[in-house]
């Protein structure tokens, strides 16, 4: 018999002896562990610490099972011990929200693990705006980020094409000093998670997908081999936890659908230098899009293109082929520029649907939803990730203080509703601006219902011709610009006012 098999059998026999003790106290467990280690493994002192930890974990699991599942039989215990791992607090999802929650648990000495189904942390830049409240949270956790000068991301510009004079530009550098000691910041989510994972990397397990959740008394059983006291769904709006719990979403989950392209280009960094823009809204006869400047240092960008304006179709299954056509993708990017660039490196292409929703309830049977798992909102205003990070802080303090989780739901659900309402105002204002520069997107959606059988090339040609009539008619263009300019400026001013009011409301 090998040493390993002998050790396993001996430990099992010792554990089975523990079941003879009617009242199981920690002192008894310590005594059993001491006897096992000192009398059996004294010849293997190199492995002593490892063995102690393994045995101690097994005995603790028996203790938990005996205390909370008194109806279990002896054979049930043995099955649990052989296969089970007990994690008091299990976080599902290693995105920004799950990582911040993990940092708070570490700070409060709350035992936890984070499971991430992917083999890597987020690679897509996704969210990028960090508001003052989030920066205060990062400061509280002593998390340092490699932030670039915010002056380079200070404007929103509205253009026909990059390289032309903007149709309009507005600064986002609003003085918030009366509200916070911090300043807002800009960092792509892909880089954010790489830095935030530091300090808790040993608590993150990659390639760990949750496929099943069961409940027995106060214990949550996950995937047949894990138990936990609390499970935190930080796995996003399309994640497993909320869906498995059958918690409904309230609101509109499908406002608009987009093609989302993540790419690298140092040449584009140079082209945008004159604008100092975080967001560049492009409206011309070839394309309607928004370009997000994520990182100057390595030239990281994302471009989002409304599917209804690009193809006339919104069924993602019908246009999956676009994702693999990198020649087409590069051509789309170049349509936003006056003069083309040739150093575009495509990193990823995907589709996403924008919604405005929140979960009907934030917890069920000690399973708690956090971040995008319990709300989704338009990106306008940058509320999504910030709301999620602030959910995590609120929840962590309530877990630490053992407060009723109903308070977490009441407080954070209301904040989500307020932020969704504000983000929708931003979104509708952006549609007003788009209407001022080009055409009414809502009317275009009505036309699409009559154009389902029109070939793609005819639809796209019609959009180009219609856009050209506006763009290249000098008289109409001048009249349109001057007649609408006041409306656009008023719209932008309203957005600025909404920002200040909403920030003050959340303090």
State the pLDDT at residue 494.
Answer: 46
Measured CA to CA in angstroms, residue 41 lies from 38, 110, 284, 409, 428 at distances of: 6, 32, 76, 50, 70
What's the whole-number mean pLDDT along residues 19-32? 50
For the segment 56-85, the average pLDDT, to the nearest whole number, is: 55
**β-pairing, 277-283 with 288-295?**
antiparallel
Determine the pLDDT at residue 188.
Answer: 92
Tens-digit pLDDT profile for residues 462-481: 444 444 444 444 433 443 44
Helical H runs in 314-404?
326-334, 384-400
Pick the more confident residue, 76 or 285. 285
Q: What tens digit of pLDDT does each residue of 237-261 get? A: 999 999 999 999 999 999 989 999 9
Position 243 scores a pLDDT of 96
- For residue 493 the two structure tokens come to 């001013």
d(CA 251, CA 258): 19
Tell me the pLDDT tens digit for each residue of 353-394.
999 999 999 999 999 999 999 999 998 888 999 999 999 999
Mean pLDDT of 266-282: 93
Number of H helices, E strands in the chain: 16, 18
Least confident of 26-30, 85-89, 269-273, 312-316: 26-30
DSSP codes joined into one string, 124-161: S----EE-HHHHHHHHHTT----PPPGGGG-EEEEESS
Residue 192: both structure tokens together: 């954010």
- Strand spans (E) along 160-276: 168-171, 185-186, 204-206, 213-216, 219-222, 226-233, 249-264
- Which tens digits make up the pLDDT trace of 43-57? 444 344 445 555 555
pLDDT of residue 57: 57
The confidence score (pLDDT) of residue 59 equals 59
Identify which has the larger pLDDT, 174 or 265: 265
Q: Enter the pTM of the model.
A: 0.74
């Amino acid at each position: 018999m090998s040493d390993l098999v002998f050790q396993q059998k001996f430990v099992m026999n010792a554990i089975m002896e523990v079941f003879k003790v009617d009242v199981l106290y920690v002192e008894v467990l310590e005594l059993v562990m001491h006897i096992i280690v000192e009398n059996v493994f004294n010849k293997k002192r190199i492995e002593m610490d490892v063995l102690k930890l393994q045995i101690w974990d097994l005995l603790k699991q028996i203790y938990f099972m005996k205390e909370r599942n008194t109806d279990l039989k002896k054979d049930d215990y043995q099955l649990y011990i052989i296969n089970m791992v007990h994690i008091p607090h299990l976080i599902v999802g290693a995105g920004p929200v799950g990582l911040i929650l993990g940092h708070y648990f570490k700070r409060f000495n709350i035992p936890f693990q984070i499971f991430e189904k992917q083999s890597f942390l987020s690679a897509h830049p996704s969210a990028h705006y960090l508001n003052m409240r989030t920066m205060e949270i990062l400061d509280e956790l002593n998390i340092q980020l490699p932030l670039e000068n915010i002056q380079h991301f200070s404007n929103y510009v509205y253009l026909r094409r990059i390289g032309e004079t903007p149709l309009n530009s507005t600064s986002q550098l609003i003085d918030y000093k009366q509200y916070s000691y911090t300043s807002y910041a800009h960092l792509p989510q892909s880089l954010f998670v790489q830095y935030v994972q530091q300090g808790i990397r040993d608590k993150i397990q990659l390639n760990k997908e949750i496929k099943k959740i069961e409940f027995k008394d106060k214990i949550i059983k996950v995937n047949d081999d894990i138990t936990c006291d609390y499970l935190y769904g930080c796995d996003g709006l399309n994640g497993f936890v909320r869906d498995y719990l059958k918690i409904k979403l309230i609101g509109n989950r499908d406002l608009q659908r987009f093609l989302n392209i993540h790419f690298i280009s140092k040449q584009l960094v140079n082209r945008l230098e004159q604008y100092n823009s975080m967001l560049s809204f492009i409206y011309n006869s070839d394309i309607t899009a928004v370009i997000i400047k994520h990182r100057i240092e390595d030239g990281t960008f994302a471009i989002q293109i409304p599917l209804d304006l690009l193809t006339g179709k919104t069924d993602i299954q019908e246009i999956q082929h676009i994702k693999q056509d990198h020649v087409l993708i590069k051509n789309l990017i170049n349509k936003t520029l006056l003069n083309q660039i040739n150093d575009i490196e495509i990193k990823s292409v995907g589709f996403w649907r924008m919604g405005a929703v929140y979960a009907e309830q934030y917890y069920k049977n000690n399973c708690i939803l956090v971040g995008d798992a319990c709300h989704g909102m338009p990106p306008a205003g940058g509320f999504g990730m910030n709301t999620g990070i602030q959910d995590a802080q609120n929840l962590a303090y309530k877990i630490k203080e053992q407060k009723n989780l109903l308070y977490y739901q009441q407080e954070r659900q209301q904040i989500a509703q307020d932020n969704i309402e504000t983000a929708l105002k931003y979104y509708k204002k952006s549609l007003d601006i788009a209407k001022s520069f080009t055409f009414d997107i809502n009317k275009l959606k009505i036309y699409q219902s009559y154009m389902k059988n029109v070939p793609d090339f005819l639809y796209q040609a019609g959009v180009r011709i219609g856009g050209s009539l506006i763009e290249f008619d000098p008289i109409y263009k001048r009249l349109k610009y001057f007649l609408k300019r006041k409306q656009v400026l008023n719209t932008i001013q309203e957005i600025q006012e909404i920002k200040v009011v909403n920030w003050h409301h959340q303090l």
